[in-house]
């Protein structure tokens, strides 16, 4: 199908602008700007598990503390991007997991939670990055969680269970993709894999530059295939990396995004890149306010960089969204909420880092001091300190009390409420219609409300890769 035939009805979009007022006129002017440009590159950006409250709090922090709007909402304020909502339900539930969510975009079909591009009856749907690679584009993914995790994998592979990350690493080696970077060394390192297979050696043999730290990543030459796996599991939370100085050796999401674009931008047939802030979701699961806020702000810095690139390039479609909500955090009305929220400027560490460092024999004073020094000068009572001590002594777990599943995240977040006035709905995914934004050629065809499984065909068609759309 020809692009002009598929979008022939969209030629009428600009006709109503005269009657819709100044704002609509401006919006349609933006649409006209891209109407005759080619969608050569696509950068698909996902803040995993981002509820609307997360987006709002990052913008409020940016305005109050940094003195400027966030890049994402600032682009809305400037009428730079098209804006809409997306229904992210899976095949089996109105509340999706990340595997089914990414698969809906990656394979163009809703699948059961936990599956990666495998339907309820075993149907296999060809992932979108495989299609773009066949069409001659360079492709890649970067993330702050293991590169084998659900969201990048949903754009790349077919597998029944998202948990088989060692197998996903093997599948990646067969795809000849151009850039794959994140955490997850335990799925590549022979010392950690059960089968003792050296996946680093496999990728090296296939011509990849393999990087295990920031300096090795930066040595990769443009157009060279690049595998970057920088930590055993996930990358550090942004707030921890800044305080500990690990950002000197371990790249952050902005570093990964910049390098990925640099590796692929000169390709004559263009590129497709997925960028994921995966630990926004992890922080929401832990009701970990500092981790959530500063990882969202890091994602926003990537939005800023990507939009700058797209403006200069002129042929890049930017898609910015989330795969689902998580925990629905937000600032709650009450006396002093403004200055209480401003306490965030003094935060040094995530709750995850704080709780991982509490000994089972810690004293009340040690806990009070640890929280005061690292959680925005928060003062807890002796009674609260006793509650935390009791939690560590009472938990019995074969996989260890320092497994994040067993740490007292919810207990600590409730104590922090009076210090930051941030409330939480739960510790799990929610059924939010997710925020959807687009900039660049192709964005003029975006609907203001989409089903998640419509995104697959949309991306293929605006990039004129219709011939591969056989899933």
Tokens representing 333 are 């009305």
349 labelled as ligand-binding? no
| Annotation says 98 is catalytic | yes
3-state secondary structure of 163: coil
Q: What are the tokens at 27?
A: 């919006």
> Which residues fall within 8 angstroms of residue 236, CB to CB, at 6 or more apart?
244, 246, 247, 250
Q: Which residues pair with 134 in a beta bridge?
A: none
The per-residue b/e assignment along 167-182, b for 16 or more CB within 10 angstroms, e otherwise, is bbbbbbbebebbbbbb
CA 116 to chain centre: 17
Distance CA 149, CA 130 (A): 17
Give the sign of the dihedral formed by CA 361, CA 366, CA 368, CA 374: negative
313 marked ligand binding residue: no
* DSSP notation for 351-389: HHHHHHT--TT--HHHHHHHHHHHBTS----HHHHHHHH
Q: Does 399 show up as a binding residue in the annotation?
A: no
Alpha helices (H) along 429-470: 454-462
419 is an annotated ligand-binding site residue: no
**Of 70, 98, 102, 443, which one is the catalytic site residue?**
98
The Cα 471–Cα 448 span in angstroms is 25
CA distances to 93, 119, 218, 280 from 148, in Å: 24, 20, 22, 17
Residue 33 is assigned to a ligand binding site: no
Does the CA dihedral 47-50-52-55 come out positive or negative?
A: negative
Q: Is 109 annotated as a binding residue?
A: no
| φ/ψ of residue 77, rounded to 5 | -60, -30
Give the span between the Cα atoms of 50 and 295, in whole angstroms.
Answer: 11
Q: How many residues does the chain have?
A: 471
Ligand-binding site membership of 276 (annotated): yes
Measuring CA to CA, which residue among 214, 164, 282 is closest to residue 153? 164
323 marked as binding residue: yes
* Token pair belonging to 384: 């609260």
Does 324 count as an annotated binding residue?
yes
Residues contacting 63, CB < 8 A, separation 6+: 69, 70
- Annotated binding-site residues for Mg(2+) read 48, 149, 151, 276
Binding residues: 48, 149, 151, 276, 281, 285, 323-324, 429
Q: Which residues are annotated as a binding site for Zn(2+)?
A: 48, 281, 285, 323-324, 429
- For the annotated catalytic residues, the residue numbers are 98
């Amino acid at each position: 199908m020809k692009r002009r035939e598929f979008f022939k009805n969209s030629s009428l979009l600009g006709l109503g602008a005269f009657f819709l007022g100044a704002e609509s006129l401006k919006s349609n002017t933006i649409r006209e700007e891209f109407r005759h440009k080619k969608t050569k590159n696509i950068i698909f950006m996902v803040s995993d598990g981002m509820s609307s409250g997360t987006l709002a709090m990052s913008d409020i922090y940016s305005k109050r503390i940094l003195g400027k709007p966030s890049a994402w909402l600032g682009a809305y304020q400037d009428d730079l991007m098209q804006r809409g909502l997306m229904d992210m339900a899976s095949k089996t539930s109105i509340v999706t997991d990340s595997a089914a969510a990414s698969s809906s975009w990656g394979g163009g079909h809703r699948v059961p939670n936990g599956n990666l591009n495998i339907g309820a009856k075993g149907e296999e749907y060809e992932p979108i990055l495989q299609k773009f690679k066949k069409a001659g584009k360079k492709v890649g993914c970067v993330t702050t969680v293991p590169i084998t995790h659900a969201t990048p994998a949903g754009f790349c592979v077919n597998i029944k269970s998202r948990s088989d990350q060692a197998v996903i690493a093997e599948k990646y080696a067969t795809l000849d993709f151009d850039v794959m970077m994140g955490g997850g060394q335990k799925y590549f390192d022979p010392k950690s894999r059960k089968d003792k297979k050296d996946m680093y050696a496999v990728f090296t043999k296939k011509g990849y530059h393999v990087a295990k730290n920031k300096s090795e990543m930066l040595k990769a030459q443009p157009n060279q295939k690049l595998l970057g796996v920088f930590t055993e599991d996930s990358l550090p939370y942004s707030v921890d990396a800044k305080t500990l100085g690990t950002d000197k050796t371990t790249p952050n999401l902005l570093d990964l995004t910049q390098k990925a674009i640099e590796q692929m931008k000169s390709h004559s047939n263009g590129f497709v890149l997925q960028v994921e802030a995966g630990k926004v979701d992890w922080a929401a699961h832990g009701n970990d306010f500092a981790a959530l806020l500063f990882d969202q702000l890091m994602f926003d810095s990537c939005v800023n960089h990507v939009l700058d690139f797209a403006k200069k390039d002129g042929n890049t479609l930017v898609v910015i969204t989330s795969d689902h909500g998580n925990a629905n955090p937000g600032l709650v009305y009450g006396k002093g909420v403004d200055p209480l929220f401003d306490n965030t400027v003094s935060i040094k560490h995530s709750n995850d880092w704080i709780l991982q460092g509490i000994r089972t024999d810690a004293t009340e004073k040690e806990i009070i001091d640890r929280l005061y020094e690292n959680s925005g000068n928060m003062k807890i009572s002796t009674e609260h300190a006793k509650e935390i001590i009791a939690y560590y002594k009472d938990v019995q777990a074969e996989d260890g009390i320092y497994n994040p599943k067993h740490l007292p995240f919810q207990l600590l977040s409730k104590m922090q409420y009076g210090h930051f006035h941030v409330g939480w709905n739960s510790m799990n995914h929610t059924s939010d219609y997710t925020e959807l934004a687009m900039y660049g050629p192709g964005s003029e065809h975006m609907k203001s409300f989409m089903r998640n499984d419509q995104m697959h065909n949309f991306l293929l068609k605006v990039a004129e890769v219709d011939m591969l759309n056989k899933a």
